[in-house]
Amino acid sequence: MSQKLIIMIIFFVIAPVIILYLETKFSIMKKVGAVLICYAIGLILGNIGILPEGAEKYQNLLTNLTIPIALPLILFSMDVKKWFKMAGSAMTSLIIGLFTVVLMIFVGFFIFRGSIDEIWKVSGMLVGIYTGGTPNLAAMKTALDVDQELYIMTHTYELSLGALYLVFILSVGQRVFLTILPPFKSPDSSKMNSAQVNPEEDFDNYSGMFKKGTFLPLLGAIGLSLVIVGVSKAISMLLPEDFSTAAIILFITTFGIAFSFVPKIKQIKKTFQTGMYIILVFCLVVSSMADLAKLANISFSLFWYVALAMFGSHILHVFIAKLFKIDADTVIISGSALICSPPFVPVIAAALKNREIILTGLMIGIAGYAVGNYLGVLIAFILK
């Protein structure tokens, strides 16, 4: 490994620490948020041509490692019993989300079918990605024998529009949704979740992580997280390859939830914050891999079809959810889990300042993983 690659990796690991520290010193950075700052820095790095040759290999390695390690750490601190009290609205939101995605893809198909080649394949890919994320998109490419150029262009537009979606959700999205939907209420209280957070346990409070009484147990939690990832990977190798990525997330989530019932694990301080730091590394790395130059040869019909599937489904989701009196945070996290996939759920929850909805988002995202491939193939051949 060259010296430049080592410096790049060190930067990816250290930069979020510096950003989190600066957040405590400058209120403007706190308002913008560490997630958006990491995305912005990553986009700049990835598009000004300073990353060393061979960087992509290590970028892929970091993105593949960070989320699996972070998820158990985040789940260790979850109150699963409380989630079951919210399960009804979560499942309703999931069904609404799947319905709106499929409906908008049907609408877009009839609008753009004369201007997009093999649009039925594009439709199948969009169903896949907006119910299960990139793993399902890749599965749809194989299942439907999609041309490489069409696949890359669809994915590029999806990533670009997804970045705009994230900027909206991570900044003003919650305030906009609250003009239409009721606020989130904790199952154990009539007060909003944001009003009952203990400052000492606030999810964006990173102070005291290196105290002896906190750091050593935290190292043990990180070690347990690594074991969970290894075991989940080993089990997934026994399953069909197309399902392996979804299976890894499923097993990691299952083990993380299981250990949250162990009092000694649940009581370890700062596991949530450690997981969120690792996710900031993910945000920085994944945004540095986005190539904005690929938008030069834009296909407007395909671009607008992707936009309709993404934004149209989420807007319709909001108005249907209003009829069912589902709260804003649940709608945002369920829509984000379907549009952006489960790895982004903790990121969205952090922006909403609501850790109680993380498990809801993960469950909805995993359900999307489970049904996305079947639904994608079914819709594609119906439209064909």
- Kindly give the parts of the chain with pLDDT less than 50: 189-201
Domain ranges of the chain: 79-270+292-383
**Which pLDDT score, from 0 to 100, does residue 191 have?**
41
Task: State pTM to two decimals.
Answer: 0.66
Calculate what percentage of the chain has a pLDDT beyond 90. Answer: 27
**Which pLDDT score, from 0 to 100, does residue 16 have?**
93
Residues contacting residue 46 through CB under 8 Å, at least 6 positions apart: 287, 288, 289, 290, 291
**Which pLDDT score, from 0 to 100, does residue 7 have?**
93
**Which pLDDT score, from 0 to 100, does residue 129 have?**
87
Query: What whole-number distance in Å separates Cα of residue 101 and Cα of residue 266?
Result: 36
**Which pLDDT score, from 0 to 100, does residue 87 have?**
64
Query: What whole-number distance in Å separates Cα of residue 363 and Cα of residue 132?
Result: 12
**Which pLDDT score, from 0 to 100, does residue 234 have?**
92
